[in-house]
Amino acid sequence: MPDTSRLFFALWPDDETRQALARLSQSITAKGFKWVQPHNLHVTLVFLGAVNTDTELLIKQSVADITAQPFSLTFDSLSYWNRPRILCLTSRQPVPNPAAMLVSALEATVADCGLHTDTRPYIPHITLARHARYLPDVKIEPIVWRAEAFCLVESCSEPDGVCYKVRQQWPFIKPTVNPDQ
C-alpha cells in the first residue's frame, strides 16, 4: 500500500490573528476542555482525509490553477458543537462569496482527482477546544481574519497530540488597481 498523509485545505492565520486567537483562548475559563495549541489554529476549507503520494501530487498540480480574491471572515460568535464536542469561533454573517467560490473550486478539483469530500454546507469555524462539554458564558470581541492564500496542510500524530504542518501554500490573485483612479 502506498504511503498516505492525512490532508486538508485551510486558511492559515497571520501572526496578528494567531495572537488574537491565543489571547481569546487564554481568557476563557472552562474545565475539562482540551485547548488547541496556537500553532495549530486554522480555518478548514476542505477536508481530504488519507491521500496517497500520487494523488497528493495530482491535487497540488490541479489546484495551482485556482484563482481567488482576498477576503475577510469575521468570527464574532462562540459556539459549542455537541456531536464533535468542540468549542469554536463562528460567524453570524453569511459566508463571503469569494470564500464560497474558493471552497467550491477546491471541492470540484479534489473530486476531479478522485476524492470524495463532505457534502454538508460549508461553515467557516476555528476550533478552539476539543472535549468540550458546554458553551462557556463569555463575551467575545470579533476577530477579523484576512485571507490572502490557502494551504494544503498535513495532520500529523505526535506523542503530545496532533500537529498541523503546512505542506504548500497558494497566494490569492491580488485585485488590480487602476492607476487612473
Residue 177 in domain:
no
End-to-end CA separation in angstroms for the chain: 58
Residue 43 in domain:
yes
- In this predicted structure, the answer to whether residue 28 has a pLDDT above a threshold of 60 is yes
Contact 60, 16 (CB under 8 A): no
- In this predicted structure, the answer to whether residue 179 has a pLDDT above a threshold of 70 is no
**Mean pLDDT for the chain overall:** 92
- In this predicted structure, the answer to whether residue 35 has a pLDDT above a threshold of 80 is yes
- In this predicted structure, the answer to whether residue 174 has a pLDDT above a threshold of 70 is no
Residue 90 in domain:
yes
Q: What is the mean pLDDT of residues 87-99?
A: 96
- Predicted confidence band at 161 (pLDDT cuts at 50, 70, 90)? confident
- In this predicted structure, the answer to whether residue 177 has a pLDDT above a threshold of 80 is no
Summarize pLDDT for 136-157 with one digit per residue, the tens: 999 999 999 999 999 999 999 9
Q: What is the mean pLDDT of residues 123-137?
A: 95
Catalytic annotation, residues: 42, 125
Give the ranges where the chain is alpha helix by DSSP (H): 15-27, 53-63, 97-112
- In this predicted structure, the answer to whether residue 162 has a pLDDT above a threshold of 80 is yes
State the pLDDT at residue 1: 42
Listed residue (178, 149, 143, 180) closest to 166, CA to CA: 149
Structural domain boundaries enclosing 95: 4-171
- In this predicted structure, the answer to whether residue 52 has a pLDDT above a threshold of 70 is yes
Residue 179 in domain:
no
Q: What is the CATH number of the domain that holds 145?
A: 3.90.1140.10
- Predicted confidence band at 95 (pLDDT cuts at 50, 70, 90)? very high
124: helix, strand or coil:
coil
Residue 61 in domain:
yes
- In this predicted structure, the answer to whether residue 114 has a pLDDT above a threshold of 90 is yes
Provide the CA 64 distance to its chain's centre, in angstroms.
Answer: 18
How many domains does the chain fold into? Answer: 1
Residue 181 in domain:
no
- Predicted confidence band at 180 (pLDDT cuts at 50, 70, 90)? low
Residue with cell 459566508: 95
